[in-house]
Amino acid sequence: MNNPFESSHVPQPEGNPFASAGALPQTEVLVFSGRGAEYFGIWIVNLVLTVLTLGIYSAWAKVRRMQYFYRHTTLAGAAFDYHGDPRAILKGRIIGFILLLAYNASFQFSLIAGLVVVTLLAIVMPALLMRSFRFRARNTSWRGLRFGFGGDSRGAYGVFLMWPALTLFSLYLLGPMWHQRLKRYQFDNARYGATAFSINAPVSAFYRVYGVAVAVFLLGGLAIGAFVWSLARGNPSAWIAGPFLFLALMLFIQPYLSARLQNLVWNSMRLGPHRFVSRVSARRLYAIMLTNLIGVVCTLGLFQPFAAIRLARYRLESVTMVCDGSLDDFVAGQSQDVAAIGEETADLFDVDIAL
Amino acid sequence: MSTSRSEPAPPVAALYFDGLSARAHAVTLTLDGATLHLNGADVSRSDALERVRLSEPMGQAARLISYADGAHAEVRDHAALARLLQDSGHRDHAFVRWAFDPRMVFAMFAGLLLAGWFAWQVGLPWAARMAAPRVPDEVVSAMSTQALGWLDNRVLTASTLSVQRRQTLRSAFDALAAGEGSAPRHSLQFRHGGRMRANAFALPDGTIIVTDELVDLAGDDDEVLAVLMHELGHVRARHGVRMLLQGSATALFMAWYLGDVSSLLATAPTALIQSGYSRSMESEADDFAARALVAQGRSPELLVSMLEKLARAHGESGDDGEGYLDWLSSHPDTGERIARLRAREFAVH
């Protein structure tokens, strides 16, 4: 029939569309086909069923949300897919909820109880986060092959316990270094099928990105302070403008960090012989995030699904895969089942493990 | 069934992946009764339709036909697939159809709003009423102390009434309250109202605060006592605790909705201060005061007269109070309350 692979029967080894490019590397863009109006339906049905079941449906809701985003993401003609088991996710959410409750309640009880719980969490969380990486990777597939994560607990305690502590003790001076170690742990241990990812982003690049953000923050803060102070001399009510300007400054810095870090990570990542190019513009991201925020606030949250789609489209479609050789050559790795507990706990404790 | 046999649906183009390598095989799918056939240049398989899993439709996204052995096929020609499946009896889950049916989405949305409104108007007050007796006294008194401290820091100042005057009022109030039989734990405190002006309010732990301005406004102590009995009515029915619970639950929801749970503990005492009593709570406290007054041989007119004076005092300055557990800021308007008290008085006599 209309077979795109058979129709071009020129001298092509194995009917492979990518091999024909020869020495010239071929690029494949990520395409995102999700639509806000469509996702709104999924979102509202998820929300209503979650409310009606007192939160139990949220695990199934998450699977449908992930599937919507993954299946609408296409690379080289094939879609991604999410395979998380809702029952595993529900189990994880219950454990996460109990941990969150223990954390919030213990300090009400006594300082010692609080410290005991925090210590326990510090011991448990790295292992949970490691599992969450594994669960997320293991349940993502493309072209029928699963992704995987092989990070060990030694590394997890390094990036989730030792480095945060060092960052705190160094008054955040080691923060960018921690971030670099985290990304290295995340991607140097990741694989697609049997093919390993690797990342070689230097620490200095992270310091550069964070350095600019901190400089903008300090200069902007000073400018706001001076501006409000000069206004307030005539009219004390001008002090009110301070917090709003400060908020605007933070809204300005966050998209910058987000854009530059995504570019940094993806541009220094390799999958076997292939590499990636990410071209997120801080200015475009800022425009999208600002309009999203205005939309969400003005609609009391109803714009949220549209906002999520807009953001995902821009961030995903900014990524290109530069292929060196055929994408058909990947083969499956070993498989193993992974519990969802880690991922869901991480969700509840709001630890950002995206990109 | 007969139509499908006479003119079978055309084959559906798909990409097949075997789950062992990333290689894409261009294939076609055909359906023969309950068997799904897959055919390509170097791959072919036939499986019972009930043994494969078909992913739900999601707009433009490819639909995935997953086999038990980890292989799958991606179909992007949705119309052709629908024609193929037409006679197979395959049906998507109800919630899948809902999510893409505008009427269903609208119904869901309306249902959500309705459920939210119902929970807030009926469910929350009911839950607060059930939970109020179970709140530990320590929590109630800690919250009340914090709320009074907040007011003392910002609004209220020490009373300028003479010690003797305060003592007279206190013992008269105690006597009146004791006459009510099972009077709840309570204590009377005097403050200079400042911005709150002529006012009286009860904290959840039974602390009743009356301002100097209210005492001055009253013609005699009996009118002050009538107001205090109204407040005692709130204490007795644990209205303060119920409002505190409702306010905290609302604050918890808002914090979750806006994504900031950490601010919650800080807002609880303010939620208490800013919440007014509901219409039914005011009526309940009025009834309690009227009953107590009548039982002691006094007239509910005392409370009526005080309500009128307070309304005038607050109305004249064009200020309807700032809502600090304010007598007059709550829903039933003064005229309505007075009418109710008078009707009641009529019934009692």
Q: What is the pLDDT of residue A355?
A: 28
Q: How far apart are CA B45 and CA B62, in angstroms?
A: 20
Q: Using 50, 70 and 90 to split pLDDT, how confident is the model at A308? A: very high
What contacts B295, CB < 8 A, 6 or more positions away?
A: B179, B180
Strand pairing of B207-211 and B187-192? Answer: parallel
Plot region of B203 (φ>0 → left; ψ -120 to 50 → alpha; else → beta): beta
Chain A residues touching B123 at Cβ < 8 A? none
Highest mean pLDDT among A3-12, A341-350, B16-25: B16-25
3 state DSSP class of A74: strand
The two tokens of residue A136 are 């997320």
The two tokens of residue A77 are 């003609």
Are residues B46 and B35 in contact, defined by beta-carbon separation less than 8 angstroms? yes
More confident residue, A354 or A281: A281
B109/A44 CB distance under 8 A:
yes
A15/B41 CB distance under 8 A:
yes
Chain A residues 296-355 with a CB less than 8 Å from chain B: 301, 327-332
Q: What is the pLDDT of residue A51?
A: 80
More confident residue, A180 or A95: A180
Report the gap between the CA of B244 and the closest CA in chain A (Å). 18
Alpha carbon A142 to chain centroid distance? 18
Chain A residues touching B37 at Cβ < 8 A? none
pLDDT at A339 over 70: no
Chain A residues touching B60 at Cβ < 8 A? 33, 35, 72
Provide the b/e sequence for B87-108 (b: ≥16 CB within 10 Å).
bbeeeeeebbebbbeeebbeeb
The ranges assigned to domains in chain B are: 2-92, 101-134, 135-348
Distances (CA, A) of A339 to A68, A73, A131, A136, A234: 22, 25, 7, 10, 62
Closest partner CB to A44 (pick from B64, B105, B261): B105
Chain A residues touching B71 at Cβ < 8 A? 144
pLDDT at A175 over 90: yes
Closest partner CB to B105 (pick from A41, A72, A81): A41
Closest partner CB to B95 (pick from A45, A51, A79): A45
Q: What is the pLDDT of residue B4?
A: 44
- Check if the interface score ipTM surpasses 0.85: no
Report the gap between the CA of B23 and the closest CA in chain A (Å). 4
- Whether B235 and chain A come into contact, CB under 8 Å, resolves to no
Chain A residues touching B112 at Cβ < 8 A? 44, 47-48, 51
More confident residue, A217 or A300: A217
Torsion, CA B71, CA B77, CA B78, CA B82, rounded to 10? -80
* Per-residue pLDDT tens digits for B183-214: 677 888 899 988 777 888 888 888 888 988 88
Chain A residues touching B252 at Cβ < 8 A? none
Chain B residues touching A52 at Cβ < 8 A? 115
B21/A331 CB distance under 8 A:
yes
Nearest to B61 by CA among A141, A319, A73, A30: A73
Q: What is chain A's Cα-based Rg?
A: 23
**Residue contacts between A and B (CB atoms, under 8 Å):** 123
Distances (CA, A) of A146 to A186, A288, B30, B57: 16, 32, 27, 22
Closest partner CB to A2 (pick from B13, B101, B257): B13
Strand pairing of A269-271 and A274-278? Answer: antiparallel
Q: Using 50, 70 and 90 to split pLDDT, how confident is the model at A245? A: confident
Phi, psi of B73 (to 5 degrees): -125, 140
3 state DSSP class of A275: strand
Q: How far apart are the first and last CA of chain B?
A: 83
DSSP symbol at A278: E
Report the gap between the CA of A103 and the closest CA in chain B (Å). 12
For chain B, what's the residue count? 349
Q: What is the pLDDT of residue A266?
A: 96
The CATH code of the domain at B2-92 is 2.30.29.30
Q: Kindly give the parts of chain B with pLDDT less than 70.
A: 1-7, 93-96, 180-183, 254-276, 315-333, 344-349
Report the gap between the CA of A178 and the closest CA in chain B (Å). 25
Chain A residues touching B28 at Cβ < 8 A? 1
Chain A residues 188-207 with a CB less than 8 Å from chain B: 193
A40/B55 CB distance under 8 A:
no
Q: What is the pLDDT of residue A49?
A: 84
Q: How far apart are CA A73 and CA A286, in angstroms?
A: 23
B17/A327 CB distance under 8 A:
no
What contacts B83, CB < 8 A, 6 or more positions away?
A: B9, B10
The two tokens of residue A279 are 């071209």
Report the gap between the CA of B103 and the closest CA in chain A (Å). 10
Minimum CA–CA partner of A331 in chain B: B21
* Per-residue pLDDT tens digits for B278-304: 777 888 888 888 888 888 888 888 888
- Whether A51 and chain B come into contact, CB under 8 Å, resolves to yes
* Per-residue pLDDT tens digits for B235-284: 888 888 888 788 777 777 766 665 544 444 445 444 554 556 777 788 88
Are residues B293 and B300 in contact, defined by beta-carbon separation less than 8 angstroms? yes
Average pLDDT over residues A147-156: 91
pLDDT at A348 over 60: no
Average pLDDT over residues A254-266: 94
Average pLDDT over residues A78-88: 89
Average pLDDT over residues A189-203: 94
| Range in A144-153, A289-298, B23-32, B244-253 with the lowest mean pLDDT | B244-253
Minimum CA–CA partner of A193 in chain B: B21
